[in-house]
Homo-oligomer: A and B are copies of this chain.
């Protein structure tokens, strides 16, 4: 069976707009306008067409709807997030905002490779997507796809370097402050901060927020520094041992990721320190499998990636309608409390 005959088979299965037009006694163009809600059609004609469509159970497929409305009802999502941990929640948030049954989001993985990214952008444009969402796996600004694309683009999580683009990102500064404020509200005063790779904007932002919150409370960080290293359990284990040796009186550790926090919990357990009684521990990312598997279960900061996806989708809608204010919008993170931080009584 050839591709052509398969396509023919597909077309033959559904009632067409032509059938509707014939039954309503109008031209196909008029039927299209009527179903599309344009106001050049008389009310009584519209009623006739809609009734005919209902009698024939006419449900235009997405392509037909797209042709009627000049849109395909699809959005492309380009990511370089190799394990999908960041991009799948953004995709789900975007779909929820668009509304299921009206828009489909197609994800393509560029694997951090500019040539592969360009290829996917071209493929998506060839398929006539109505817009693009570009998702990064870190919050460092990324190169713009440029101003010349034929459809609007919104950058999610990783903002675009260009101020002319529309970007939605997570507010990691506020999140760092949020983590420290939670520890303060638990009665903690000797707070250390162990984080990941310092070349990540996210690591620097969380550290800045934590410093600000401590400063506002008249406190300083234990060790007068953020212990930057790597986004791994191994670094969490090693750094916790180091900080604890230098500052055995610490009563809380804010960790830059849940993986780091898992390592910190291991070391505190080995040192005989009870969590949360002796030391409260808070992670970052709210990576479900990692945070709930921890003992005790890990309090964490959730970056609300679904919300970032929703906001990106809404901005894209506005841009498709020609109303696209540029610049970077930050989405607040949220605290998810579990047993590793408990208020002291």
- Which A residues form the contact surface with B (CB < 8 A)? 1-4, 6-7, 9-10, 13, 61-64, 66, 70-74, 76, 81-85, 87-88, 91-92, 95, 100-101, 104-109, 111, 115-116, 119-120, 122-128, 130, 148, 150-151, 232-234, 237, 259, 262-263, 266, 289-290, 293, 295, 320, 322
Contacts and interface: CB of A to CB of B under 8 A. Distances in A.
A248 to B, nearest CB: 23
Nearest to A66: B126
B104 A70 contact: no
Contact of A105 (B83, B108, B232, B263): B108
B266 A9 contact: no
A289 B320 contact: no
Contact of A63 (B100, B104, B126): B126
Contact of A3 (B3, B71, B105, B123): B71
Contacts of A151: 6
A94 to B, nearest CB: 10
Copies of this chain in its oligomeric complex: 2
Contacts of A105: 108
A135 to B, nearest CB: 12
A276 B105 CA distance: 46
A7 B106 contact: no
A233 to B, nearest CB: 4
Contacts of A95: 109
26 contacts: A1-B322, A6-B151, A10-B125, A10-B150, A61-B122, A62-B122, A62-B126, A72-B126, A73-B123, A74-B127, A82-B88, A83-B289, A84-B84, A84-B88, A91-B109, A101-B119, A104-B123, A106-B108, A107-B107, A107-B108, A107-B109, A127-B127, A237-B295, A259-B289, A263-B293, A289-B290
A245 to B, nearest CB: 19
Contacts of A234: 293
A150 B88 contact: no
A271 B190 CA distance: 32
A111 B95 CA distance: 11
Contacts of A259: 289, 293
A63 B150 CA distance: 15
Nearest to A113: B100
A221 to B, nearest CB: 26
Given A10-B150, A320-B3, A293 B233 contact: yes
Given A3-B130, A259-B289, 18 more contacts: A3-B320, A4-B70, A6-B151, A7-B150, A10-B125, A61-B122, A61-B125, A62-B127, A63-B127, A73-B123, A82-B88, A83-B84, A84-B88, A91-B109, A104-B124, A107-B109, A127-B127, A233-B295
